[in-house]
A and B are shown apart, each in its own frame.
Chain A
Amino acid sequence: MPQSPSYQNRIELLQGTLDMLILRTLQWGAQHGYGISQAIRINSGDVLQVETGSLYPALHRLERQGWVRSEWKLSESNQRAKYYRITALGKKQLLTDQARWQTIVDAIAAIMQADPKRS
């Protein structure tokens, strides 16, 4: 079976990063599972393809922790779908996650860009 190009370019997400991406996506407004996966794919320029086997457990975990709320609504195409909405707690969590992620990125960047000859 031929694999699609986006599948080959897939990047393994760091543990916890998916939660942050989902919360970030939901900041644009309530969205259903399919919509979230599409948004992440499009916004990452087809680099990040979220697997459903990770997406749905993550969504339910977020809901259990009270960071998102879910409700059944009709989609644009008049389909009944479960929409997720970020909660105030979720927004706070997103800020924490983002800050931590920034720290990690900076730290990794610092290591990667450091000039070995200078040390």
Chain B
Amino acid sequence: MFLRWWRSASRRKEELDEEIQAHLRMAAEDRIDRGEAPDSAREAALREFGNVALVEDVTHDVWRRRWLEELRYDLRFALRTLRNNPGFTAVALLTLTLGIGANTAIFSVVNAVLLRPLPYPHADRLVYLSEWTPQIRFMYISMPDFHDWLARNTVFETIGGYRIADVTLTGVGEARRLQLRQVTPGLFATLSATPVLGRLLTPKDDQPGAPPVLILSQDFWTRELNRDPRVINQRLNLDGESYTIVGVVDNSHWHIGWPEVEAFSSLGRLAATPPFPNRIDHRGIYALARLKPGVSFEQARDQMWNIAGQIAHQYPQSNSSVSVNMMPLLPGLVQNVRQPLLLLMAAVVLVLLIACVNVANLLTSLAIVRRQEIAIRCALGAGAARLARQFLCESILLALMGGAAGLLVAYLSIGTANSALVHLASSTIPRLNEISIDKSVLFFTLGVSLLTGVAFGVVPAMAAYRIDPQQLLMNSGRISTSGLSRAGVRGFLVAAQLALSLVLLLATGLTIKSFFLVMHQDRGFRAEGVLTAFLTFPPLPYQDDAQKRSLVEQLVEKVAGLPNVTAAGFKSPLLGDSEAMFTIEGRPAINGGDEPFTEISSVTPGAMEAMGIRLIQGRFFNAEDRADSEPACIIDDLMAAQNWPGENALGKHLSTEIPRSPDGQRPWRRVVGIVHHVQHYAGDWPTLAGTYLPYSQFPLSRGVAVVLSNLDQASLEPAIRDALHSLDPNLAFYSVQPLTSIVAEDLAGRRLVVVLLSILAAVALLLATVGSYGVMAYMVSGRTHEIGVRRALGARPQDVLQLVLAQGLRLTLSGVAIGVLAALAVSRFTRGLLFGVKAADPLTFAGVVVLLMIVAMAACYIPVRKAVGLNPLDALRHE
């Protein structure tokens, strides 16, 4: 609006200038016609005209002044109106503050998480890279493939590979786990990282077999080493290998999921160390790359697919069905939270719409109170347009005030909620620590406030066009005759409000139901009463499988023998994240890469029992499953159904790609038991069919002790730690926590959405109740006279009650009908967030509809009850 005004004003100025020049030319020509010399004629014309600039200025003011003066007048008048109606102003402001404040708060989250670019130079050119097979969308990259990508691509400025490799730090106090990432020099380049101290990785460090160097995170350097600059060239012992510290880097703002990483070492130096040179081994490597300027995402992806095709052609044994998966960094980072956040944003916009309807209702009521004033202004010559503008000015002023208060509320709630939010969901929602009120949030709030002001101001402003001043003045004592108080508008508003609330309540109802279903989902194991303790073995002396085996066996035996412990075992990994290819005995061989995958885990006897994994057939592992006994495995019912449909899988044989026997062969393993499938992730995140191997035959150097007991963590943890310490004082569990809290963490994101949605739905319901009550009460009071007449003519109270309730019911029903239709229309957007319920879940729909009807009818019943209770004579006198 301002822009258009500005543009038309500047055009007007140009035109005025041209107009005056034309005047001067014509005056000069007249003089020339009268015989004056051209030069003096022009001069005389100019002199006669006077001060051109002054004339221009004065003329231009004619336009400018009006605009500003009227605005100032409108504003002053609006302020006075608001001041003179403190009750109205307070309620309207409170409603708006709630509505806009909630919007600002949620938007600041959306802005920080989804919209704000990552703080790297050219962050929009960063992409994630992984390998891809038809079965695994984000497969680790094998080292030779990574090097081929590096050598063959022409689309990336830099590519950095990285691998999670937590190690045990010894020689400095008690043994502890160090969160290490093995990276290639390209990773630092891709993230534009510079060293705080010393240097980062060089190509020399990346050579196979290069001496191990270490770059510390600034956080670790500060926390553990007091920012001592002399750490450069000192050595740290990691997994028994001596690393030289060469630099310190600040990774606190890195957003690729690991700001907590404590140190970085070289990945490339392992390129010649088995199993890395093996193209079929995909060991934990992902990559991050930066597109060259001018190269589009699609171009790069096409080239990478092409390269993957070449590699597959060259090495069909390992790569025939392996391709590349590429994803922009930010969308990849936030892909899991995008939909919930957008749902919350939509919900909060609904709340604001409901708030708008309430304020529009209030404004309409206010207009009725002011009808005499309005009538006088009309009579004195204020046009409908002028009145409409006045109303709009009032509503926008109100909205801006509400916006300012909302901003304050959002600011305060972000401040206080931030720690709570981060605590609640920091592990599931990335970038949560970055929430702040920045320029975009300010613009958003301003925009929303202006829009809101227009949205709820437009109803009374439109009504201004229907005002008949004469009628208004004549009927100043009567209600419900003028255009301002038409029941139709208000009825529509109530219906709209109910419809909006219904949509929000439904979405909330479905989400809550999903949450409870997920929470009580049978995931194939029992978390209650299970304590988990995470352990990683250093290579020395645990490079030797026998060492690991004996330590784990003794540990399990000791822990299982503790008082009050029902079952104990050792499992690796605890849940998910360990896919391996397998083949079945007697079936035709399949090319490497095309083999099916299974989720494998290594378990000691007692582990599956402790976790409550249910046996269907056969047996659990026991002491008879030794390293040198017949290779065995336990599969889940999903595995059995997929691979031996209609057959009994018990006693059949399969082989997994790991572990191999010392001669590199994959032994056939006999299926000794079938258990229920374990859902590794909450909800319907797909989990592969599972295979369990005895730890004695598959000793891994990390794992989790699982202990089922009726003791709480505080009483059990010291005993478990003591048990480990007595076996090897150099070992320590790095994390001990109940399995329930690990499961709960998985649900934190969902829980957050449910909590916020419930709050929003409650606010919406409250606003809608207040709104419908206000309108119903108003409509009943408009009919008080009529009710008196009916009662006087002999209508029984229940007849009247029925009559008026029917009106309310009609409104409610139409609102509910619109709401149900709207909810069905938007249900496809929420489908992805639901679990176990359909987007059109009849039970939830029915529940919400009934709830809303009860609320609406209650809002209707109270004023009706009052009207009917009146003495007919009083009602008749009521004017």
Task: Tell me whether A64 and B62 are in contact (CB under 8 A).
Answer: yes
Given the contacts A32-B26, A34-B23, A51-B50, A82 and B62 also touching, CB distance less than 8 Å = no
Instruction: List residues of A (23-58) whose CB comes within 8 Å of B's CBs.
Output: 32-35, 38, 51-53, 56-57
| A79 at the binding interface (Cβ < 8 Å) | yes
Instruction: Tell me the minimal C-beta distance from B385 to chain A in angstroms.
Output: 13
Given the contacts A51-B50, A52-B49, A64-B63, A81 and B55 also touching, CB distance less than 8 Å = no
Given the contacts A56-B55, A81-B19, A75 and B62 also touching, CB distance less than 8 Å = no
Instruction: List residues of A (60-77) whose CB comes within 8 Å of B's CBs.
Output: 60-61, 64, 75, 77
Residues of chain B lying within 8 A (CB to CB) of residue A56: 16, 19-20, 55-56, 58-59
| B866 at the binding interface (Cβ < 8 Å) | no
A33 to B50, CA, bound (A): 15
The residue of chain B having its C-beta at the shortest distance from the C-beta of A4 within the complex is B48
> Which of A33, A38, A56 counts the most chain B CB atoms within 10 A?
A56
| A80 at the binding interface (Cβ < 8 Å) | yes
Task: Tell me whether B22 and A81 are in contact (CB under 8 A).
Answer: yes
Name the contact of A53 in the complex, choosing from B23, B29, B50, B63 (C-beta under 8 A): B50
Task: Tell me whether B62 and A53 are in contact (CB under 8 A).
Answer: no
| B61 at the binding interface (Cβ < 8 Å) | yes
Instruction: List residues of B (789-821) whose CB comes within 8 Å of A's CBs.
Output: none
Residues of chain A lying within 8 A (CB to CB) of residue B58: 53, 56-57
Interface 0/1 of B50-73, CB less than 8 Å to A:
110011101101110010000000
Instruction: Tell me the minimal C-beta distance from B540 to chain A in angstroms.
Output: 92
Name the contact of A60 in the complex, choosing from B26, B49, B62 (C-beta under 8 A): B62
A53 to B60, CA, bound (A): 11
Instruction: Tell me the minimal C-beta distance from A31 to chain B in angstroms.
Output: 11
| B25 at the binding interface (Cβ < 8 Å) | yes
A60 to B57, CA, bound (A): 12
Instruction: Tell me the minimal C-beta distance from B70 to chain A in angstroms.
Output: 12
Given the contacts A53-B55, A53-B58, A64-B66, A79 and B50 also touching, CB distance less than 8 Å = no
> Which of B23, B54, B55 counts the most chain A CB atoms within 10 A?
B23
Task: Tell me whether B18 and A79 are in contact (CB under 8 A).
Answer: no
Task: Tell me whether A81 and B50 are in contact (CB under 8 A).
Answer: no
A13 to B191, CA, bound (A): 77
Q: Give the interface residue-count category, chain A.
A: 20 to 34
Residues of chain B lying within 8 A (CB to CB) of residue A53: 50-51, 54-55, 58
A34 to B49, CA, bound (A): 10
Instruction: Tell me the minimal C-beta distance from B352 to chain A in angstroms.
Output: 38
> Which of A33, A35, A38, A59 counts the most chain B CB atoms within 10 A?
A33
Residues of chain B lying within 8 A (CB to CB) of residue A57: 55, 58-59, 61-62
A82 to B59, CA, bound (A): 15
A116 to B772, CA, bound (A): 76
Residues of chain A lying within 8 A (CB to CB) of residue B26: 32, 34-35, 75, 77, 79, 81
Residues of chain B lying within 8 A (CB to CB) of residue A77: 26, 29
Instruction: Tell me the minimal C-beta distance from B23 to chain A in angstroms.
Output: 4
Instruction: Tell me the minimal C-beta distance from A12 to chain B in angstroms.
Output: 16
A93 to B489, CA, bound (A): 39
Given the contacts A52-B55, A53-B58, A64-B66, A34 and B18 also touching, CB distance less than 8 Å = no
| B232 at the binding interface (Cβ < 8 Å) | no
Task: Tell me whether A60 and B59 are in contact (CB under 8 A).
Answer: yes
| B27 at the binding interface (Cβ < 8 Å) | yes
Task: Tell me whether A61 and B18 are in contact (CB under 8 A).
Answer: no
Task: Tell me whether A82 and B55 are in contact (CB under 8 A).
Answer: no
Name the contact of B18 in the complex, choosing from A38, A51, A52, A82 (C-beta under 8 A): A82
Name the contact of A80 in the complex, choosing from B22, B27, B59 (C-beta under 8 A): B22
Task: Tell me whether A34 and B15 are in contact (CB under 8 A).
Answer: no
A32 to B18, CA, bound (A): 12
Residues of chain B lying within 8 A (CB to CB) of residue A82: 15, 18-19, 22
> Which of A33, A35, A60 counts the most chain B CB atoms within 10 A?
A60
Instruction: Tell me the minimal C-beta distance from B437 to chain A in angstroms.
Output: 42
Residues of chain B lying within 8 A (CB to CB) of residue A33: 19-20, 22-23
Residues of chain B lying within 8 A (CB to CB) of residue A79: 22, 25-26, 29
Residues of chain A lying within 8 A (CB to CB) of residue B23: 32-34, 52, 81
Instruction: Tell me the minimal C-beta distance from B13 to chain A in angstroms.
Output: 11
Given the contacts A77-B29, A82-B15, A32 and B22 also touching, CB distance less than 8 Å = yes
Task: Tell me whether B19 and A61 are in contact (CB under 8 A).
Answer: no
A75 to B20, CA, bound (A): 14
Residues of chain A lying within 8 A (CB to CB) of residue B30: 38
Residues of chain A lying within 8 A (CB to CB) of residue B56: 56
A33 to B25, CA, bound (A): 12
The residue of chain B having its C-beta at the shortest distance from the C-beta of A80 within the complex is B22
Instruction: Tell me the minimal C-beta distance from A50 to chain B in angstroms.
Output: 11
Instruction: Tell me the minimal C-beta distance from A41 to chain B in angstroms.
Output: 11
A54 to B49, CA, bound (A): 11
A57 to B20, CA, bound (A): 12
A64 to B54, CA, bound (A): 20
Instruction: Tell me the minimal C-beta distance from B44 to chain A in angstroms.
Output: 10
Residues of chain A lying within 8 A (CB to CB) of residue B59: 56-57, 59-60
A64 to B67, CA, bound (A): 11
A22 to B106, CA, bound (A): 60
The residue of chain B having its C-beta at the shortest distance from the C-beta of A32 within the complex is B22
A41 to B19, CA, bound (A): 20
The residue of chain B having its C-beta at the shortest distance from the C-beta of A56 within the complex is B59
The residue of chain A having its C-beta at the shortest distance from the C-beta of B58 within the complex is A57
The residue of chain A having its C-beta at the shortest distance from the C-beta of B54 within the complex is A53
A109 to B16, CA, bound (A): 40
Task: Tell me whether A60 and B63 are in contact (CB under 8 A).
Answer: yes
Task: Tell me whether A34 and B27 are in contact (CB under 8 A).
Answer: yes
The residue of chain B having its C-beta at the shortest distance from the C-beta of A81 within the complex is B22
Residues of chain A lying within 8 A (CB to CB) of residue B66: 64
Instruction: Tell me the minimal C-beta distance from B141 to chain A in angstroms.
Output: 70
Instruction: Tell me the minimal C-beta distance from B46 to chain A in angstroms.
Output: 11
A57 to B63, CA, bound (A): 9
> Which of B20, B26, B49, B56 counts the most chain A CB atoms within 10 A?
B26
Task: Tell me whether B55 and A80 are in contact (CB under 8 A).
Answer: no
Residues of chain B lying within 8 A (CB to CB) of residue A80: 18, 22
A74 to B619, CA, bound (A): 105
Residues of chain B lying within 8 A (CB to CB) of residue A81: 19, 22-23, 26
Instruction: Tell me the minimal C-beta distance from A81 to chain B in angstroms.
Output: 4
A41 to B62, CA, bound (A): 24
Instruction: Tell me the minimal C-beta distance from A82 to chain B in angstroms.
Output: 4
Instruction: Tell me the minimal C-beta distance from A38 to chain B in angstroms.
Output: 8
A47 to B146, CA, bound (A): 97
Residues of chain A lying within 8 A (CB to CB) of residue B62: 57, 60-61, 64
The residue of chain A having its C-beta at the shortest distance from the C-beta of B24 within the complex is A34
The residue of chain A having its C-beta at the shortest distance from the C-beta of B44 within the complex is A4
Instruction: Tell me the minimal C-beta distance from B65 to chain A in angstroms.
Output: 10
The residue of chain A having its C-beta at the shortest distance from the C-beta of B45 within the complex is A34
Instruction: Tell me the minimal C-beta distance from A19 to chain B in angstroms.
Output: 12
A52 to B20, CA, bound (A): 9
Instruction: Tell me the minimal C-beta distance from B445 to chain A in angstroms.
Output: 36
Residues of chain B lying within 8 A (CB to CB) of residue A52: 20, 23, 49-50, 55
Residues of chain A lying within 8 A (CB to CB) of residue B15: 82
Give B contacts to A, CB under 8 Å. 15-16, 18-20, 22-23, 25-27, 29-30, 49-51, 54-56, 58-59, 61-63, 66
Could you list some 8 contacts between A and B, CB below 8 A? A33-B20, A52-B20, A56-B19, A60-B62, A75-B22, A77-B29, A79-B25, A82-B18
Give A contacts to B, CB under 8 Å. 32-35, 38, 51-53, 56-57, 59-61, 64, 75, 77, 79-82
Closest 6 CB pairs of A and B: A56-B59, A81-B22, A34-B23, A60-B62, A82-B19, A34-B26
| Contacts A56-B20, A57-B62 known; 18 new A-B pairs at CB < 8 A | A32-B23, A34-B23, A34-B27, A52-B20, A52-B50, A53-B51, A53-B58, A56-B19, A56-B55, A56-B59, A59-B59, A60-B59, A75-B26, A79-B25, A79-B29, A80-B18, A82-B15, A82-B19
